[in-house]
Amino acid sequence: MAELGRELRVGVVGAGGMGTRHARNLLRVPGVRVGAVADADPGRAEALAKDCGASRVYADGYELVLDPEVDAVVVASPDPTHASYVLACLEARKPVFCEKPLATHAAEARAVVEQEVSLGRRLVQVGFQRRYDPDLQALWRLIRNGVVGKPVLYRTWHRNARAAYGPRSNAEVLVNSAIHDLDEVRWLSGQEVRAVRSVVGCRVDRSLAEGVFDLQLIQLELGDGALALVELNLSAGYGYEVGAEVCGERGSITAGLPAGAFVRVEGDARVHVPADWLERFDAAYAAEVAAWVEHVRAGQAWPHAWDGYASLVVAEACAEALATGRPVSLTPEPPPPLYVTPA
Ligand SMILES: NC(=O)c1ccc[n+]([C@@H]2O[C@H](COP(=O)([O-])OP(=O)(O)OC[C@H]3O[C@@H](n4cnc5c(N)ncnc54)[C@H](O)[C@@H]3O)[C@@H](O)[C@H]2O)c1
């Protein structure tokens, strides 16, 4: 663990879009150096290392984790590699920021939780950057201020212009993409999901394999009886949009609508829509890695491994509901005490 006050030497595993974004954001955090980069593609690792002044380059992420000159690790490699890199970090007692999802199966995420609990330290932070988005944070605060009374419905939307990857199954769509929405509902509501009432979908992009749904509607029932309706649309065609409306007993609050300069011209009126997540969550990505550095120093990662695990349990229940056409009941487990203290 990095000592208080000493420079934090970070190693980045995965030098693609997210690894590059996190490395660049980390360079703006005082007291942090990006010292090492690993990527299965050595050219990418070299390029990012040059970009951020890192002197150590690896083709094997596990070697980076064991490098004694790496104090803390960012994992931004493909989803199926996450759990194993995170377990290696825990084995080496190093704090790790892991991109979502924490794992591709809840059972793997559970193994991470168990390993972390046995160490008695919150070393794992999961990249649910929406928790650091100024709009969604304002929504979270307004809910807690009681502005609309008790929330009864969380309606969220998550739209990409087109699928950024070629999903091969509905479970992959849920675990890779809807995982953000499932975590958002848990975070905004402070509730666990007690039932997946229904998941329906359809294929919008005809180039996807038949039976793979890039548009999915998820209906959830939360622990306090409130409902949630999650719209995930990977092929919305017009840009990238993530927002939420919370309806309470006295009113509703909406956050995340496209905003900024409103242009009226030639009989038309328009506002810019972000092209992708990098643009939409620019501020959130910077804030989450800055917060991670603080959490590394304080030993209180957030969102934590339990959040990564709990969201995967719901994602798997959604996949089952979609495959069977039947509701799936869940019995929310109380988190181990390690995860109860708020960060
Ligand atoms: N939080 C968010 O909003 C958000 C957005 C996009 C992607 N993601 C997640 O971030 C992760 C990376 O996504 P990306 O868009 O940067 O992908 P990317 O394809 O741009 O980058 C992934 C990089 O990992 C490298 N790689 C592949 N196998 C590896 C291995 N075994 N070890 C080390 N490196 C390996 C690839 O060569 C590539 O450079 C994914 O898990 C994805 O789900 C999160």
Q: Which atom of ligand 1 is nearest to the CA of 19?
A: 16
Ligand 1: centre distance to CA 82 (Å): 10
Ligand 1: centre distance to CA 101 (Å): 11
The structural domain count of the chain equals 2
Average pLDDT, the chain: 96
CATH code assigned at 192:
3.30.360.10
CA dist 244 and 157 (Å) reads 6
Task: Please check whether residues 193 and 122 belong to one and the same domain.
Answer: no
Q: In the chain, count of helices (H) and strands (E)? A: 11, 15
> If you average pLDDT over residues 94-106, what whole number do you get?
98
The three-state (H, E, C) secondary structure of 276-303, written as one string: CHHHHCHHHHHHHHHHHHHHHHHCECCC
Contact 242, 129 (CB under 8 A): no
What are 178-198's pLDDT values in tens digits? 999 999 999 999 999 999 999
Helix (H, G, I), strand (E, B) or coil at 28: coil
Ligand 1: centre distance to CA 99 (Å): 8
Ligand 1: centre distance to CA 115 (Å): 24
Structural domain contains residue 105 = yes
Task: Please check whether residues 102 and 198 belong to one and the same domain.
Answer: no
Ligand 1: centre distance to CA 277 (Å): 14
Helix (H, G, I), strand (E, B) or coil at 125: strand
Among 48, 58, 99, which is best to mutate for testing ligand 1, by the most ligand atoms less than 8 A from CB?
A: 99
| Least confident piece of the model among 108-117, 161-170, 215-224, 303-312 | 161-170
Q: Which two tokens stand for residue 153?
A: 């419905």
User: From atom 11 of ligand 1, which residue's Cα is the shortest distance away?
Assistant: 76
- Helices within the chain (DSSP H only): 17-27, 42-52, 61-66, 82-91, 106-119, 134-144, 170-173, 179-189, 277-280, 282-298, 305-324
Query: Is pLDDT above 90 for 1?
Result: no
| Phi and psi, residue 257, nearest 5° | -70, 150
User: From atom 19 of ligand 1, which residue's Cα is the shortest distance away?
Assistant: 16
Task: Please check whether residues 173 and 61 belong to one and the same domain.
Answer: no
User: From atom 25 of ligand 1, which residue's Cα is the shortest distance away?
Assistant: 14
Ligand 1: centre distance to CA 58 (Å): 16
The number of beta carbons lying within 10 Å of the beta carbon of residue 5 is 7
Pocket of ligand 1 (CB under 6 A): 13-19, 38-41, 44, 61, 76-79, 81, 99-100, 127, 129, 176, 277, 281
Q: Which atom of ligand 1 is nearest to the CA of 38?
A: 33
Structural domain contains residue 315 = yes
Task: Please check whether residues 24 and 71 belong to one and the same domain.
Answer: yes
β 241-248/151-159 pair status: antiparallel
What per-residue confidence (pLDDT) applies to 343? 44
What are 26-82's pLDDT values in tens digits? 999 999 999 999 999 999 999 999 999 999 999 999 999 999 999 999 999 999 999
Percent of the chain topping pLDDT 70? 98
Query: Is pLDDT above 50 for 288?
Result: yes
Ligand 1: centre distance to CA 55 (Å): 21
Query: Is pLDDT above 70 for 5?
Result: no
Contact 96, 125 (CB under 8 A): yes
Task: Please check whether residues 333 and 225 belong to one and the same domain.
Answer: yes
CATH code assigned at 59:
3.40.50.720
Identify the domain containing residue 80 by its residue range: 8-130+284-304
Reported confidence tier of residue 3, pLDDT bands at 50, 70, 90: low
β 215-222/193-202 pair status: antiparallel
Query: Is pLDDT above 80 for 342?
Result: no
Task: Please check whether residues 82 and 194 belong to one and the same domain.
Answer: no
Contact 26, 74 (CB under 8 A): yes
Q: Which atom of ligand 1 is nearest to the CA of 85?
A: 32
Among 22, 39, 133, 176, which is best to mutate for testing ligand 1, by the most ligand atoms less than 8 A from CB?
A: 39
To 10 degrees, what angle do helices 179-189 and 305-324 make?
120
Q: Which atom of ligand 1 is nearest to the CA of 277?
A: 3
Structural domain contains residue 249 = yes
Task: Please check whether residues 120 and 141 belong to one and the same domain.
Answer: no
Kindly report the pTM of this predicted structure: 0.97
Contacts of 286 (CB under 8 A, 6+ apart): 25, 28
Ligand 1: centre distance to CA 19 (Å): 7
